Amino acid sequence: MRLLILGDVVGRSGRELVLRELPRLRERFDIDFAIVNGENSAGGFGISEGIFNQLRDAGADVVTTGNHVWDQREALVFIDREPNLLRPLNYPKGTPGKGAGVFTAKNNAQVLVINAMGRIYMDAMDDPFAAIDEELALCPLGEVCDAAIIDFHAEATSEKQAIGHYFDGRVSCVFGTHTHVPTADHQILGGGSAYMSDVGMCGDYDSVIGMDKAEPVNRFVRKIPTARFTPALGEATISGLAVEVNNKTGLAEKVSAVRIGARLEPALPDFWL
């Protein structure tokens, strides 16, 4: 099974590139299942129902989010009628939406997707380790689902690595989102799970994590805000991850970074070329 994962979509430039390239990538590489993190897709902050529908129409089987999921207030309403939109699993009970689901891939495989959020330098949340453990107990890999994927939206690389090692061998892939900078550590862990600390963003990299660089730099230098943060609107780059999953075991066999666009060194999975 072929999995394609795209990192945080930031603003209009990132969104337009994903909407253009995702259908091409699905067709070119015969992708069975695609996940896109869309939490910054609406003006850099949150996601709207219209944008969610655009991402789905472009080929995203599941759209994950993170700490910005409620920045567009309409998300509090439409998330309950959109099962393919996930918010972090470890929000308090009673929060709208859901943090995990089982979805059918193009090859008819049953894919468990879990969206969870870290606690280091982030808002206070329930324990992500316990929350994910509970989901995997209900839907174990190889018994109830054919593949299991975790989008761990977190700040600290150490926490992301700990999640990766803790769930190694029990899921197909653990990937990090949130920092908007792709790491160079994509690998298959000892138990057979694909891992990458952060898959990066889909947006303009001539920026400060996707925002027009003038105001963030100003705030670091002068410590005085002078304007709102706005997404950078230059030519965007797609960043993500490609994973080949064994159809029998549900574990990863191959993994590669994916980068397409203006500024970063290009990368495509050579095992699919």
Q: Is the pLDDT of residue 26 over 90?
A: yes
Q: What percent of the chain has pLDDT over 70?
A: 100
**In the annotation, is 68 catalytic?**
yes
Say if residue 68 is exposed, middle or buried (CB neighbours under 10 Å; 0-12, 13-18, 19+): buried
Q: Is the pLDDT of residue 117 over 90?
A: yes
pLDDT in tens, 97-106: 999 999 999 9
User: Which pLDDT band holds residue 29 (cuts at 50, 70, 90)?
Assistant: very high
pTM of the model: 0.97
pLDDT in tens, 39-96: 999 999 999 999 999 999 999 999 999 999 999 999 999 999 999 999 999 999 999 9
Instruction: Using the CB atoms, write b or e for 134-150: b if 16+ within 10 Å.
Output: ebbeebebeeebbbbbb
Q: Is 184 helix (H, G, I), strand (E, B) or coil?
A: coil
Confidence at residue 134, expressed as pLDDT on a 0 to 100 scale: 98
Tokens 């850099």 belong to which residue?
Answer: 44
Domain ranges of the chain: 2-272
CA–CA separation, 46 and 71 (whole Å): 5
What is the domain class of 2-272 according to CATH? alpha beta
